[in-house]
Amino acid sequence: MKAFLLSLLVITILIPKNVKAQNEGVAAAAVVGGLVAIGAGIVAVEQMKENAELKATEWILSNHPDLTSFSLQTLDFDGKKLKDLSNASVITFEIQQFSPKKDPILDGKKQILFAFTSKNWVNEYGIDYKKVRWFLFDSSEWMKMMVAYVKVSSDEKNETNIQNKLTEGRVVDKGVKVKSKLVIPFFNLSGDMYVVTDYSLVMKLLYNERSLGIFFKDTKDLVQIGRLDIIKIHEYFFGEN
């Protein structure tokens, strides 16, 4: 709705107020056509999000039979950094278990499901889910990744100290903050400088321009996840600190 209203405002501003009477019909038709296109685009995006949640649910049901009662919601439909020029992307989902009862509440284990897409993941039929790589992270795995990321992004190499600081605080643009104090500053790298660590058999982690880069070894895809998305995931697991 916000996107629709913003687009309506832009179109209204862009149409000259001194349009001649004979052109008013053409201008009005152009505005209507533009609004129809905007509305159709918004609907298409919402349909893609709903389809993505359906595919994520199907993946959970097929690969994690232990999850018998859970909530699944989209955290970010495109969590990659806006300046990322790669052909890969990532969708993140919040998953939380609960106990089935008359008035259930979400009070169980929290997890994050990553859907990493490969090249040409969108075609004329929508998202090609055959190109999606799924990874389910709990808070322990996320903390492990964040510790590795902070190690490669800063001079701090003591994993216990990093974990304690991350538990108390969060990752921000310049490093790890606890309350308002920057306790682990990150390297100040330029846009063409990278620091890399070999995280697992599947991926490498990169620090570049204050973002988390994930490089998949088999597909050679690089996704750079923006800082706000890192913060949202960290807060989902550990709360606002």
**Digit-coded pLDDT (tens) for 141-166:** 999 999 999 999 999 999 999 999 99
Assess whether pLDDT exceeds 70 at residue 13.
no
Residue 179, domain member (yes or no) = yes
CB atoms within 10 A of CB 176: 23
Cβ neighbors of 134 (< 8 A, separation 6 or more) are 56, 59, 63, 113, 114, 115, 116
Tokens for 48?
Answer: 């893609």
Residue 59, domain member (yes or no) = no
Tokens for 101?
Answer: 């009862």
Residue 56, domain member (yes or no) = no
Please give the residue range of the domain that contains residue 98: 64-238
Residue 174, domain member (yes or no) = yes
Confidence of residue 44 (pLDDT cuts 50, 70, 90): low
For the chain, what percent of residues have pLDDT higher than 90?
40
Residue 134, domain member (yes or no) = yes
Residue 6, domain member (yes or no) = no
Helix, strand and coil content of the chain, in percent to the nearest 5, comes to 40, 30, 30
Residue 121, domain member (yes or no) = yes
Query: Mean pLDDT for the chain?
Result: 78
Residue 89, domain member (yes or no) = yes
Report the number of distinct structural domains present in the chain.
1
Interval 74-129: pLDDT, tens: 887 654 443 443 456 788 999 999 999 989 899 999 999 998 877 666 666 666 77
